[in-house]
């Protein structure tokens, strides 16, 4: 309630000052009374009395020092952030009368009778954001026409909170209002962000608990199990779990599809609870593809949105052929081989020099295995021989371990034939007598020093920004973030060459980052250098923490990236080729596309532009902007949804296509009941409160008591008013003029 009061700050008695003022006015009246009947005086005596009365009244006010106090809205630059969940789960229509959850959230804000948005705007500046994976600003002028749709495939509350607060400035945010069903499935929980952001978060839960209702009926594909890496023309088994709720028994059709094509189908009898369904298919094309398991909908289903589930499978023509050469049998080789021979997509072959004239051979057919003699005699001696392998791994070797011409043919195999090369850290290979001055020196992603220093300690590998987006080390952030996989020894190999990327680093002697895993493209091939030989201890010392799985994941990804088995679509023409940094992505990744080929160099010389587009599985077509870059043209885009995308480009009459797959977030529709518990925790951790949708109308009253949003008591001292002082002077001046007119001065 607004209050207005008037007080007097003068130490003088109010009554005494008032009586003195009345006496002064009475004296003025007596003084001018004798001239009221003078001829020609007119109305001037009355005007003089009035002016004298106003002057006396002004003087009284100065003496009494009145103070006017009133309540006013605080004018500090405080902001209220309103975050509206726009993920797919908000499309569930479980509100009263079949209203979608998103519509319920919008009604909380804009309903003509109970909407709280106008009241919030009276309190402070309101900033609206719609979020799924990202927080996107929404104009607040007409929220109903803003076009918010529940289409995001991820509910990342943590990222949305951090992005919105950072954009507005935490010091200006008085409160955050989060309207959501609480079905968080982002990369990390928002609970830690709620503790650390330093702003109050008030949560409004929208949605029902239909899954717990007695009349709830639903069919859902809750899990799909299939190999992620398979081979061409080999039958692939797909096991799906279909959950049945609300029916005792029914027969439904379950399909395995790719797009509109049905690859497999089975009619199954479903019982209450989870049911296993087995399907299979035989891939006829190589590449990465998105598949769908779909159960036929049933009339009366409460949630038809979860009747299908997507998964991605990469189909290879054959295994990646890997050749590893070591000058001595060391622990790094033993465990490197141990984890890779278990990878079904890799065919491992090893050559180990056990003494100056004998090789230990593993994984090579009898006709290909050397009989003995000089170690170099067992290695390929020509580009054609090297091309029998997709990737070559050099362990702790030196120039003397090769025959004349072998290193040069290996260099050309990488640069001209697109082969992959991995150099593992070792005292010989990284020394001045190793690979530093030989034909492979220019292929290495670092300029090796005269003698690579060996550093000892406890080094924790860290992903760089380049590494976080690189297919060779994807999925390793969580493993390294736990701190359980440390290295006892690394080599200081110097800074990466221009164009090379450090994917993993470790803290150096002076605190600066020292590169650990460095990659670069060399000609048409790919090269990587790993500056340690102590990661094998993860398999022994950190086995319970997943050390062997971590090594297998790291080396499997590095080898497959170096082999570049799916770097170029075979259907593309020779004039222009499109390549991506990987063939399959997860939602949120940035896709990097490179255009290269014979027409590219001529186009760069002519400063021509690439005309390109992206077509999504939904049929939507968007332009793709390419920019000139070293060696060709490059473009990046960030898919907003999962599925298969077709990239098409044209340059100087040459055209090319490239298909990439973005894995959908399968967790978005797994749980559909409102998660009140999570929203209560978020509010509690931040000092806020949780509200159901009907109680949301209480929020403006709650926020009005906040220091920067409530009423402030304003005091205005009238005696300090310049306007009053000027009026007093003006009145006295006018009275003097009147007195002069009456010839009294």
What is residue 92's predicted lDDT score, i.e. its pLDDT? 85
Q: What is the mean pLDDT of residues 653-664?
A: 87
| Angle, CA 14 vertex, CA 13 and CA 20 arms, to 5° | 95
Residue 572: predicted pLDDT: 38
Q: Which tens digit of pLDDT belongs to each residue from 462-479?
A: 888 888 778 788 667 766
What pLDDT does 718 receive? 66
577-663: CATH superfamily: Macroglobulin (MG2) domain (2.60.40.1930)
HSE-CB for 560 with a 13 A CA cutoff: 27
Q: In the predicted model, is pLDDT for residue 161 greater than 90?
A: yes
- Helices 722-741, 44-64: crossing angle, 10 deg rounding: 150
SS3 letters across 184-222: CCCCCCCHHHHHHCCCEEEEEECCCCHHHCCCCCEEEEE
Q: In the chain, which residues fall in CATH 3.40.50.410? A: 79-209+673-703
What does the alpha-carbon distance between residue 661 and residue 549 come to, in Å, rounded to a whole number?
Answer: 25
pLDDT value for 568: 41
The SS3 call for residue 315 is: strand
CA angle (477, 483, 484) in 5-degree steps: 105
Please give the residue that has the higher pLDDT: either 21 or 682. 682
Reported as a pLDDT band with limits 50, 70 and 90, residue 189 is: confident
Instruction: Tell me what percent of the residues of the chain surpass a pLDDT of 90.
Output: 29
The CATH classification number of 320-563 equals: 3.40.50.880
Q: List pLDDT tens digits, range 575-590.
A: 787 888 776 788 878 8
Residue predicted with more confidence, 250 or 50: 250
* Rounded Cα–Cα distance for residues 645 and 615 (Å): 6
Name which of 602, 601, 583, 603 is nearest 592 in CA terms: 583
CATH topology of domain 79-209+673-703: Rossmann fold (3.40.50)
Q: What is the pLDDT of residues 75-107, one digit of tens each?
A: 556 889 999 999 988 988 887 777 899 999 999
Average pLDDT, the chain: 82
pLDDT (tens digit per residue) in 495-510: 899 889 999 998 877 6
Which CATH number does the domain 218-316 belong to among 1.10.357.10, 2.60.40.10, 1.20.200.10, 3.40.50.980? 2.60.40.10
How confident is the model over 383-412, as a mean pLDDT? 90
Over residues 297-350, the pLDDT tens digits come to 998 887 788 899 999 998 877 788 999 999 888 888 888 888 888 877 788 999
Q: Where in the chain is the domain with CATH 3.40.50.880?
A: 320-563
pLDDT at 731 over 90: no
Lowest mean pLDDT among 259-263, 398-402, 543-547: 543-547
pLDDT higher than 80, residue 64: no
Q: Where in the chain is the domain with CATH 2.60.40.1930?
A: 577-663
Query: Which has more pLDDT, 570 or 34?
Result: 34
Burial of 96 (0-12, 13-18, 19+ CB in 10 A): exposed
pTM: 0.59
Q: Nearest-5° angle of CA 301, CA 304, CA 310?
A: 145
- What is the pLDDT confidence band of residue 370, given thresholds at 50, 70 and 90? very low
What confidence score (pLDDT) does residue 3 get? 67
- Tell me the three state secondary structure of residue 742: coil
Q: At what angle do helices 331-340 and 547-563 cross, to 10 degrees?
A: 80
Per-residue pLDDT of 99-143, as tens digits, reads 899 999 999 999 988 899 999 988 888 999 999 988 999 986 677
Helices (H), 322-373: 331-340
- Letter string b/e over residues 574-613, b meaning 16 or more CB atoms within 10 A of that residue's CB: ebbbbbbbbbbbebbbebebbbbbebbeebeeeeeebebe
| 430, 433, 492, 496, 532 from 450: Cα distances, Å | 9, 9, 11, 15, 17
Name the band, by pLDDT with cuts 50, 70 and 90, for residue 179.
very high
Q: In 3-state terms, what secondary structure has residue 555?
A: helix
SS3 97: coil
Distance CA 410, CA 525 (A): 11
82: closest CA among 146, 134, 135, 133? 135
Residue 369 has pLDDT above 70, yes or no: no
| Nearest alpha carbon to residue 52 among 32, 38, 80 | 32
Reported confidence tier of residue 597, pLDDT bands at 50, 70, 90: confident
Query: Could you read off the pLDDT of 195-216 as tens digits, one per residue?
Result: 889 899 999 999 887 555 567 7
Integer CA distances (angstroms), 721 to 65, 673, 729, 731, in order? 10, 62, 13, 16
Position 448 pLDDT exceeds 50: yes
713 by Cβ neighbours in 10 Å (0-12 / 13-18 / 19+) ranks as exposed
More confident residue, 192 or 12: 192
């Amino acid at each position: 309630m607004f209050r207005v009061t008037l007080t007097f700050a003068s130490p003088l008695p109010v009554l005494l000052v008032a009586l003195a003022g009345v006496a002064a006015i009475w004296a003025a009246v007596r003084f001018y009374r004798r001239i009221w009947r003078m001829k020609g005086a007119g109305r001037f005596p009355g005007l003089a009395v009035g002016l004298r009365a106003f002057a006396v009244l002004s003087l009284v006010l100065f003496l009494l020092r009145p103070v006017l106090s009133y309540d006013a809205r605080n004018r500090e630059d405080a902001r209220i952030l309103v975050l509206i969940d726009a993920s797919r789960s908000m499309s569930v229509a479980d509100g009263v009368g079949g209203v979608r959850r998103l519509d319920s959230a919008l009604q909380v804000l804009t309903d003509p009778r109970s909407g709280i948005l106008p009241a919030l705007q009276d309190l402070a500046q309101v900033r609206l954001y719609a979020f799924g994976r990202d927080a996107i600003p929404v104009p607040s002028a007409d929220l109903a026409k803003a076009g918010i749709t529940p289409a995001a495939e991820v509910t990342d509350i943590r990222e949305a909170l951090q992005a919105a607060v950072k954009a507005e400035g935490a010091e200006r945010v008085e409160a955050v209002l989060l309207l959501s069903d609480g079905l968080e499935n982002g990369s990390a929980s928002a609970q830690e962000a709620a503790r650390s952001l330093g702003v109050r978060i008030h949560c409004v839960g929208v949605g029902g608990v239909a899954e717990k209702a007695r009349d709830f009926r639903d069919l859902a594909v809750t899990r799909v199990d299939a190999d992620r890496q398979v081979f061409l023309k080999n039958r692939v088994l797909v096991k799906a779990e279909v959950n049945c709720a609300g029916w005792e028994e029914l027969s439904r059709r379950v399909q395995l599809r790719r797009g509109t094509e049905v690859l497999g189908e089975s009619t199954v009898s479903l019982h209450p609870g989870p049911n296993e369904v087995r399907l299979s298919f035989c891939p006829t094309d190589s590449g990465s593809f998105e598949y769908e398991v779909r159960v036929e909908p049933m009339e009366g289903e409460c949630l038809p949105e979860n009747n299908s589930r997507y998964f991605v499978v990469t189909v290879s023509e054959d295994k990646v052929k890997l050749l590893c050469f070591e000058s001595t049998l060391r622990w790094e080789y033993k465990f490197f081989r141990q984890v890779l021979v278990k990878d079904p997509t890799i065919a491992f072959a090893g050559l180990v020099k056990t003494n100056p004239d004998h090789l230990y051979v593993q994984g090579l057919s009898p006709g290909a295995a050397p009989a003995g003699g000089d170690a170099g005699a067992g290695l390929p001696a020509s580009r054609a021989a090297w091309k029998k392998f997709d990737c070559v791994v050099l362990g702790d070797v030196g120039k003397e371990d090769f025959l004349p011409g072998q290193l040069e043919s290996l260099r050309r195999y990488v640069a001209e034939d697109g082969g992959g090369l991995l150099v593992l850290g070792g005292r010989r290979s990284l020394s001045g007598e190793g690979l530093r001055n030989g034909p492979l020196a220019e292929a290495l992603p670092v300029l090796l020093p005269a003698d690579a220093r060996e550093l000892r300690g406890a080094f924790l590998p860290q992903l760089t920004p380049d590494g976080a987006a690189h297919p060779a080390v994807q999925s390793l952030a969580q493993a390294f973030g736990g701190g359980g996989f440390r290295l006892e020894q690394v080599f200081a190999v110097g800074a990466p060459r221009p164009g090379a990327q450090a994917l993993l680093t470790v803290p150096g002697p002076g605190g600066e980052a020292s590169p650990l895993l460095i990659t670069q493209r060399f000609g048409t091939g790919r090269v990587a250098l790993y500056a340690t030989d102590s990661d094998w201890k993860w398999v022994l010392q950190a086995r319970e923490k997943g050390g062997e799985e971590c090594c297998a994941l790291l080396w499997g990804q590095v080898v497959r990236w170096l082999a570049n088995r799916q770097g170029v679509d075979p259907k593309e023409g020779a004039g222009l080729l499109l390549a991506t940094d990987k063939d399959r992505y997860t939602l949120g990744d940035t896709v990097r596309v490179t255009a290269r080929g014979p027409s590219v160099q001529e186009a760069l010389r002519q400063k021509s532009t690439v005309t390109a587009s992206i077509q999504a599985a939904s049929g939507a077509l968007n332009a793709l902007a390419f920019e000139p870059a070293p060696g060709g043209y490059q473009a990046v885009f960030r898919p907003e949804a999962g599925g298969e995308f077709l990239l098409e480009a044209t340059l100087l009459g040459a055209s090319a296509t490239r298909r990439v797959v973005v894995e959908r977030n399968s967790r978005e529709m797994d749980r559909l009941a409102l998660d009140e518990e999570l929203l209560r925790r978020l509010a509690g951790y931040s000092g806020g409160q949780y509200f159901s949708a009907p109680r949301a109308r209480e929020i403006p009253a709650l926020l009005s008591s906040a220091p920067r949003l409530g009423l402030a008591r304003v005091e205005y001292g009238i005696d300090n008013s310049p306007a009053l002082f000027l009026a007093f002077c003006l009145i006295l001046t006018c009275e003097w003029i009147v007195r002069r007119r009456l010839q009294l001065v």
